[in-house]
Amino acid sequence: MRKVPLLMIGMLVGASAATLVSQTQLLSGTSAVAASAETYRHLSLFGDIFEKVRTGYVEQPEEAKLVEAAINGMLTSLDPHSSYLDPKSFRDMNVQTRGEFGGLGIEVTMEDGLVKVVTPIDETPAAKAGVLPNDLITHIDGEQVQGMTLNQAVDLMRGPVHSEVTLHIRRGGAVEPLEVKIVRDVIRVRAVRARVEDDVAYLRLTTFNEQTFPNLRSSIQQMKAEIGPDRLKGYVIDLRNNAGGLLEQAISVSDAFLERGEIVSTRGRDARDTQRRSATPGDLADGKPIVVLVNGGSASASEIVAGALQDHERATILGTRSFGKGSVQTIIPLGGNGALRLTTARYYTPSGTSIQAKGIVPDKVVEQRIPDDLLGRDQTQGEAGLRGHLAGEDEEAGGSSAYVPTDPTEDLQLIAALQLLRGQLIDVANPAEADTDERLPVPN
């Protein structure tokens, strides 16, 4: 996911021995020199191994692929979100953040050597084909995913528009893998979907791309006019299964509902790299109550928004615990050689809380009723369940549901949000059958 760069890192390749010596001499203290010498010894070891593979492997390897594999190995050993983007992947990522790209329409990560679906994007070929959060993709067009890098697997799933791809999916406790055929299409991501729920404005944010804040602003203006300022009870901001996106957009969306105060801080390894972002005057909702919906598929930028509005008591957070991705990835262009996606900081909510591997805990926990055929398959272990994840300051293992019914009349979290905004009594265990004659205070 592309974030606003927090720092730029350069790399000198093939430096002369004299240069290396001079750099070493600049280090202070014997221990620093010893550590530097150890680093160069390991680099020399890598060079020896590379040369032996290049000259002695049973078949002639492609040297560029050997180097790329070594780079990917180094980065994936850090955490699940750091990676190398070859030039094509870098171009594709830039296109995707603008909100239109070719493919299947799924957010993915790597887990135990397989591609794991974080969430399908609404109204895309993958969503229409029935792909679900937490599905594990084992084969792509008959090719085994085990042994591939994430970028290689993603490249296989991409292809010409209207061409077909076959995925073999392992889902939950099912014994036999599912075979899913999907026709690729141009993915036009509608960042915001809005509709009027009688006297409540409902806004579903599906991703944080360059269109998100402009779409949000225009949708709010339209619904204000349609409902009328006197009838409008408040807003539901639905961030469920929103896997994140651009940091700047998360800040803009948070700022849309806050008059003042910190939105988020990012803290790198060096305390001097700490950055704080604050709200500016102006509330698009005119102070009307807000309920934010989150679940196990709400990650990264979604958690920044939920955390900021929760800490400032501007919204009531409702649903299940979010994913817990509390790290910032900086995209560092490498000239014509693609880019480096590197985890450079953790982000913190205004109260100074890190949600890394913990997630946002809702003010009101409301579980969905899970259909029998999905029981045990809708749970996500979140960031804490990813192998090699960045350690959290206050980790909490355990799953959280990512299921959202397609029928709004069966969506218990949405029903509870509407009840809360209308001042009706919420039966958290069974909001669909709550006594609507009793009243609750309207949330701030």
Residues 26 and 171 in one domain: no
User: Of 312, 325, 345, which is closest to residue 395 (Cα–Cα)?
Assistant: 325
How far apart are the C-alpha atoms of 77 and 75, rounded to whole Å?
5
Region 53-69 average pLDDT: 93
Look at residue 221 and tell me if it is in a domain. Answer: yes
At 309 the three-state DSSP class reads helix
User: Which of residues 131, 155, 188 is at a domain's end?
Assistant: 188
Look at residue 5 and tell me if it is in a domain. Answer: no
Flag the least confident range among 71-80, 99-108, 363-372.
99-108
Look at residue 443 and tell me if it is in a domain. Answer: no
Residues 180 and 310 in one domain: no
Residue with tokens 């669909």: 432
Q: How many domains does one find in the chain?
A: 3
Residues 180 and 196 in one domain: no
How far apart are the C-alpha atoms of 55 and 66, rounded to whole Å?
12
**Which residue type, as a one-letter code, is found at position 443?**
P
CA angle, 152 as apex, 147 and 153 as ends, to 5°?
Answer: 80
How many Cα atoms sit within 13 Å of 257 on the Cβ side?
29
Please indicate whether residue 311 is annotated as part of the active site. yes
Residues 181 and 204 in one domain: no
Look at residue 3 and tell me if it is in a domain. Answer: no
Q: Which of 86, 238, 311, 378 is catalytic?
A: 311
Note whether 184 and 163 are within 8 A (CB).
yes
User: Which of residues 76, 111, 126 is at a domain's end?
Assistant: 76
Residues 172 and 208 in one domain: no
How far apart are the C-alpha atoms of 344 and 329, rounded to whole Å?
6
> Cβ neighbours of residue 433 under 8 Å, at least 6 residues apart?
427
Query: Tokens for 147?
Result: 């042994």
* Bigger pLDDT: 350 vs 405: 350
143-201: pLDDT as tens digits: 999 988 887 898 889 888 889 999 999 987 667 889 999 999 887 778 999 999 999 99
Please indicate whether residue 325 is annotated as part of the active site. yes
Q: Which of 325, 327, 400, 401 is catalytic?
A: 325
pLDDT at 268: 92
Residues 108 and 213 in one domain: no
Query: Sign of torsion, CA 35 40 43 44?
Result: negative
pLDDT at 173: 65
Note whether 362 and 317 are within 8 A (CB).
yes
Say yes or no to pLDDT of 212 above 90: yes
pLDDT at 160: 82
Residues 267 and 368 in one domain: yes
User: Of 193, 161, 188, which is closest to residue 96 (Cα–Cα)?
Assistant: 188
How far apart are the C-alpha atoms of 213 and 190, rounded to whole Å?
12
pTM, rounded to two decimals: 0.75
Residues 211 and 344 in one domain: yes
For position 148, which CATH number holds? 2.30.42.10
Look at residue 444 and tell me if it is in a domain. Answer: no
Look at residue 106 and tell me if it is in a domain. Answer: yes
Look at residue 211 and tell me if it is in a domain. Answer: yes
Residues 226 and 348 in one domain: yes
Residues 282 and 143 in one domain: no
Residues 308 and 409 in one domain: yes
Note whether 237 and 285 are within 8 A (CB).
no
Could you give phi then psi for residue 270, rounded to 5 degrees?
A: -95, 130
For position 288, which CATH number holds? 3.90.226.10
Q: Which of 252, 298, 300, 327 is catalytic?
A: 300
Say yes or no to pLDDT of 10 above 80: no
Q: Supply the range of the domain harboring residue 179.
A: 100-188
Look at residue 95 and tell me if it is in a domain. Answer: no
CA dihedral 142, 146, 150, 156 (to 10 degrees): -10
Flag the least confident range among 99-108, 123-132, 314-323, 361-370.
99-108
Residues β-bridged to residue 400: 380
User: Which of residues 29, 44, 76 is at a domain's end?
Assistant: 76
Please indicate whether residue 378 is annotated as part of the active site. no
Residues 122 and 56 in one domain: no
Say yes or no to pLDDT of 100 above 70: no
